[in-house]
Amino acid sequence: MTQKGFVNVILVIVIVMLLSAVGYLALVKKSLPIAQQTSTPTSTLTKILTPTLTTTDWKIYVNKEYNFQLTFTDAWAGYRVYREQWSNVPAVSYIFAVPTKDKTFSDTGVPPGYYKAFILILLDKKAIKPWDENGPHPKYLKSSQTMDFYVSYPQEMPRDLEGKIDAGQVVNSLRLLP
């Protein structure tokens, strides 16, 4: 037998052995009882499931001028709403502020002792958007027959409110009324 023929025989033997080993491992893994098979989960159920919320004590803000409503948890007790009419475009902002005990915190557009949790912007559908679409701008939420609804969030939150209020949860409760 030549050296080239010998190398081919060895190569075939190595391939057969590898395929046999892979087949054996697949067969052994498949035959293990389920209790013995373990895997490390990449996420937990708490990250996937949305908790069931009790909403009986929640407050509902209804705006009859623009026919929408928002729902607030009891953590928003004492919240205030400030209306701001825009002068350069047909738009109005509603600033939703919640009381803070953090005496070092100050927020523009709301009185001392209040945190501007989010700003709901209602822009006339016919208006040209007053912000650069390529730069920072409010997030689009939904549209009524006459207005487009946008939201803007502040950059920081007072420490005493961290983990207590969820502006995103309130914004997600936005409902347009007939």
pLDDT at 40: 34
Buried b (16+ CB within 10 A) or exposed e, 138-153: beebeeeeebbbbbbe
pLDDT band at 51 (very low <50, low <70, confident <90, very high): very low
Give me the amino acid identity at 147.
M
- 17 compared with 139, residue with greater pLDDT: 139
How much of the chain, in percent, has pLDDT values that exceed 90?
A: 42
CA 149, 152, 158, 160 dihedral sign is: positive
The closest of 85, 63, 68, 86 to 143, measured between CA atoms, is 68
Backbone angles phi, psi at 45, to 5 degrees: -60, -30
Domain residue ranges in the chain: 3-36, 48-176
